[in-house]
Homo-oligomer: A and B are copies of this chain.
Amino acid sequence: MTDAAPFIPGLMQDRPLLISSMLDYAAIYHPGREIVSRAVEGGIHRTSYGVARERAMRVAAALQAYGIRRGDRIGTLAWNTHRHFELFYGISGMGAVLHTVNPRLFEDQIQYIVRHGADRLLFVDPTFLPIVRRLLLHAPSVEAVILLGEASAEDREGLDGLIDYEDWIAAQPPIVGWPVLDERAASALCYTSGTTGDPKGVLYSHRSTVLHAFAAAQKSAMNIGCDDAIIAIAPMYHANAWGMAYIAAMTGAKLVLPGPRNDAENIVGLINDEGVTFACGVPTIWTNVLEHLRITGGTLPTLDRTTIGGSAVSPAMIDALAAHGVRTLHLWGMTEMSPLGVVATVTPEVAAMDAETRARQLTKQGRAQYGVELKIVDEEQRTLPHDGKAAGALWVRGPWITSAYYRREDEPLLDAEGWFPTGDIATIDPLGYMQITDRAKDIIKSGGEWISSIELENAVVAHPDIAIAAVIGVPDPRWEERPLLIVQLSEGREVSEGDIRAFLDGRVARWWVPERIEFTAAMPLTATGKIKKTALRELYAAPVHATGEAAE
């Protein structure tokens, strides 16, 4: 290979991949397709892509008039609504950076994030005004707060400069056409709330966002078209609702947004009223939905499939959804990955399996998609085989995966070949399905052997009367670590420690059965609905008092 050869570029049009082009597509070719929101004020709000683009272009015009420049960060503290959708396109489309702040974080984290992002403006739902009042004392970069709805005089107290969103975007005509930006320009910022240290900012680009939408919409992943109605249950402040706000526009799909209410009644009502075919969300949402359907005798006639991610999905949940005619697509990703990831769609080899083997296969996190490379390595960084057995640290690489954290660009994150460390332990099988066996920090080492907290949790939650199960490792003088099981029972059910141990007998290795089992009425969850293992460790991590039989 002679590298001295002159570079010969192809002669294709040099059109950048821009976020605004996805909304343009939807507005021009699917102008009447609906965006349906549960409004913050209650009730249902209906709009369309055609109207949403016109309003997003007003947002862009108002930002320009205010003096917002390309690259400036603009914060949002908002639910999944049509106004938040307009901000996604208006802010990024005019060249500024959409900074979706997670309002469920501790307030000191919110304050840290807005300060770190140096947001110039904040768009907030009325719900969050109390947070904002305190936030403004700690975030000097914020010049103005724009209110995305109605608020009483009481709620507005101490916030004299509040701008009303509807007045603000009505004040001038929409921009005429979107600016042509560099596709590698920053478009959005989302912080991950790690369990240790300060939150870290992932800075997406227009290019990464469009490529991610292309990949996520594929048949091998979510298989989205304009004949779908999508409900975006994953919050728009959490990895952009898993890309839904972009994927829906790129494909012309109907978009349903649950607003401030992720309760089962609202979710089930919207799915059935709006003919939703596709949903996405974390397992706890579906635990609640299934419980609601059980109690009310409700059904989900239009819902065809749901991608579930954020935490591992138990086989019991997959079965329960299948009984309602809903296919579960297990999905795995990270904020750092935009967020996909892998999806457990069916290959011909899996389709040919007997039902039981296939069901087991589909509890894996999913199979590799074009655009995301996966590797697993041992402790000496040697690549491990795709045999479904060797478990190692999972690294990922691809054009929608982060290379560094915002304003921490000088901290090395990738390895020499550009791979990002996920912090998960995983296997990859010969069919390309990846399975997380543990978070690197959650894995339990007992008697020199590994116990997978996820496998143990799945075994426990298969019990019909147990709603949620969590396993953490606790120090043990004899075995180094032992698993501690915390369970939350289904409403109105009674189960004893002995019942659980009897249930586990034969389902997991004998030495995996926890000596210590705790019951909780409300499992601590993170802002994004995952089990908060840090909180469990604080509550329960005292050493085990008596050790029983462990490694065989």
Contacts and interface: CB of A to CB of B under 8 A. Distances in A.
A412 interface: no
A420 interface: yes
A375 to B, nearest CB: 10
A336 to B, nearest CB: 10
Nearest to A351: B227
B5 A69 contact: yes
B203 A11 contact: yes
A98 to B, nearest CB: 12
B1 A204 contact: no
Interface size class of A (residues with CB under 8 A): 35 or more
Given A10-B205, A182-B7, A348-B227, A432 B17 contact: no
Interface stretch (A206-214, A280-288, A523-531): A206-214
A12 B64 contact: no
A453 interface: no
Interface stretch (A216-224, A231-239, A481-489): A216-224
A306 interface: no
A346 interface: yes
A431 B29 CA distance: 6
A348 B414 CA distance: 45
A37 interface: no
Interface stretch (A107-115, A263-271, A327-335, A398-406): A398-406
Name, among A4, A70, A187, the residue most crowded by chain B CB atoms within 10 Å (CB to CB): A70
B8 A402 contact: no
A31 to B, nearest CB: 8
A250 interface: yes
A214 to B, nearest CB: 4
Nearest to A205: B10
Contacts of A10: 184-187, 203-208
B219 A224 contact: yes
B217 A219 contact: yes
Given A25-B370, A64-B1, A69-B1, A11 B347 contact: no
Of A186, A214, A217, which is in contact with the most chain B CB atoms at under 10 Å from its CB? A214
A9 interface: yes
Nearest to A348: B227
13 contacts: A1-B94, A2-B67, A6-B71, A9-B185, A10-B203, A10-B205, A10-B206, A11-B202, A17-B399, A28-B386, A28-B432, A217-B218, A219-B225
The 5 closest A-B pairs by CB, nearest first: A10-B205, A29-B432, A219-B225, A8-B71, A5-B69
Given A10-B204, A13-B420, A227-B347, 7 more contacts: A4-B69, A10-B184, A10-B206, A12-B205, A12-B400, A15-B418, A29-B367
